[in-house]
Structure formats: structure tokens, C-alpha cells
């Protein structure tokens, strides 16, 4: 590596004891609060992404934060360094536990994001969206497939001092072996029988956990279920059963 990573922030970042993070992809504060309350007994974190943030704004985010669970603010920032740093400073009062940017923004952007991010917030970089397969990637000019691209972008994120990456479970094991304190956030989680929908690199909860995922992001298998609370409970139980030191 040409340059050593910048000093990592030293503020305490308590571990996310329960790795189940439920994606509240809804467009109203009432719907977010209702779903959040339904899944809260079984979730370790709640995720608010672009749909919720665009529709409900920072006040909506603050309302969901009031439920008391750690918040993953999935805003996938991707712009020039100055703009991304400004956006992170604007989001800082919401005190998310986890915040993300796109690794493809490049080293200067990642470094600026790191510098702007509050030390208690884990800053992770999206590598290759779980909705993309190798053919989709090739259509964007990236040949060689998802695995090497994820590895490349994860190395970049780490070199810029980020806390981890977002990737599919299929890539985690290879990354975790030489990034032991990295946080690996894995979407595209599908319990057995759940439809993949627009996700392409999918895995089951136990499989993702075994691969080394630190945060399992689950949306529609819970939020589109007839009983979201029961669906969250079932996935939490599968995760607990798969954890070596569950409880």
C-alpha cells in the first residue's frame, strides 16, 4: 500500500449485539414508526434509506431514531469530496450508528467522508450493489466479475480509514480473513423460499452470518410479510441459532 491508512477514530463504538437490521423502505413517518415498533423486539438496528429520507426528511429520521434502536442511515452518498463531506456534516446531528458512501467515489471522496464523519458513527462503503450480477457489472464497463471488484473497492475503503463495506455474503469470507475488525454489512438476505425480487447476489441469514457478516440487512422478507413482527422474529431466531455464542 502506497500510503498508510489515516489514524482510526478512537471513540467507543459499541458492537451491534444483534446483527439483524431491518430496512424500513416506506414513504411516511407513520408507516416507518409502525413497522419499526413491530420489529423492534427482534431487531438490533433499523435502516432508513433513500425512499424514507427523501419522503420524510431529517425530522422523519429523528422520529424513527426515537424508537431507541441504532440507526443505519443508508444514503449511499456518491459525489465530489466537498459535497459528500458537507452532506455528512449535515447528517451528523442525527447520530446514525452506521452511515454509508459509495466506494466508487474514489480515494479523495472516501478520505473526505472519513474526516467529516462523527467518530461514533461507523462509516462503511458500498462496493458492488447486491442487485448487480457479473453481466450487469460488465454493462457498466467493469469486467472480471463482482468478487475482484468488491475486493478492490474494499481495499480502497480500508486504506481510506473506513470501518467496513457493504457487499454480498459471497464476498465476505475473503475480505474478513484479512480485515478482522472490518464491519461487513450484507443486504440481499433471503430466508429459504423468499423471492429474490430485484436482488441478484442473495444468501440466507445463517449463511451470511457464517461467512462473517456483521450486519444483516433485511427488507421485504420482513416488511412485505403478512405479519412483519413474526417474520422478524423467525429471522432473528435463525440468526441466534446460527451464532456460536448466541444469547
Q: Which residue is nearest to ligand C5P (CB)?
A: 219
Instruction: Check if 47 is active-site.
Output: no
Cα–Cα distance measured from residue 57 to residue 66, given in angstroms and rounded to the nearest whole number: 15
Shortest Å distance, C-beta 137 to ligand C5P: 13
Pairing of strands 98-102, 215-218: unpaired
Binding site for ligand C5P (CB under 6 A): 23, 25, 49, 74, 126, 129-130, 166, 187-188, 199, 217-221
Burial, 247: exposed, middle or buried (Cβ in 10 Å; 0-12, 13-18, 19+)? exposed
Shortest Å distance, C-beta 142 to ligand C5P: 15
What's the grid cell of residue 234? Answer: 423467525
What's the grid cell of residue 70? Answer: 441504532
Helical spans, DSSP H, in the chain = 29-39, 50-65, 81-91, 107-116, 134-139, 146-159, 169-176, 205-211, 220-223, 228-242
Q: How many other CB atoms sit within 10 Å of the CB of residue 105?
A: 23
Shortest Å distance, C-beta 198 to ligand C5P: 7
Shortest Å distance, C-beta 199 to ligand C5P: 5
Among all residues, which ones are annotated catalytic? 76
Amino acid at each position: 500500500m502506497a500510503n498508510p491508512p489515516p489514524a482510526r477514530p478512537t471513540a467507543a463504538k459499541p458492537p451491534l449485539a444483534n446483527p439483524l437490521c431491518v430496512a424500513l423502505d416506506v414513504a411516511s413517518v407513520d408507516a416507518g414508526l409502525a413497522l419499526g415498533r413491530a420489529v423492534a423486539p427482534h431487531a438490533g438496528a433499523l435502516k432508513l434509506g433513500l425512499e424514507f429520507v427523501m419522503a420524510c426528511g431529517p425530522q422523519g429520521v429523528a422520529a424513527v431514531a426515537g424508537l431507541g434502536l441504532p440507526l443505519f442511515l443508508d444514503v449511499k452518498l456518491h459525489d465530489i469530496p466537498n459535497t459528500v463531506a458537507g452532506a455528512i456534516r449535515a447528517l451528523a446531528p442525527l447520530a446514525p450508528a452506521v452511515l454509508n458512501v459509495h466506494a466508487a467515489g474514489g480515494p479523495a471522496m472516501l478520505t473526505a467522508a472519513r474526516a467529516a464523519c462523527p467518530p461514533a458513527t461507523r462509516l462503511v462503503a458500498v462496493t458492488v450493489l447486491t442487485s448487480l450480477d457479473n453481466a450487469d457489472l460488465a454493462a457498466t464497463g467493469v469486467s472480471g466479475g463482482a468478487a475482484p471488484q468488491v475486493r478492490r473497492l474494499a481495499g480502497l475503503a480500508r486504506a481510506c480509514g473506513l470501518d467496513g463495506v457493504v457487499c454480498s455474503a459471497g464476498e465476505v469470507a475473503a475480505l474478513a480473513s484479512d480485515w478482522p475488525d472490518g464491519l461487513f454489512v450484507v443486504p440481499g438476505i433471503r430466508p429459504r423460499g423468499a423471492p429474490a425480487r430485484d436482488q441478484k447476489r442473495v444468501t440466507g441469514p445463517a449463511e451470511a452470518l457464517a461467512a462473517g457478516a456483521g450486519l444483516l440487512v433485511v427488507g421485504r422478507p420482513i416488511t412485505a410479510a403478512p405479519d412483519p413482527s413474526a417474520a422478524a422474529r423467525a429471522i432473528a431466531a435463525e440468526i441466534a441459532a446460527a451464532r456460536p455464542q448466541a444469547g
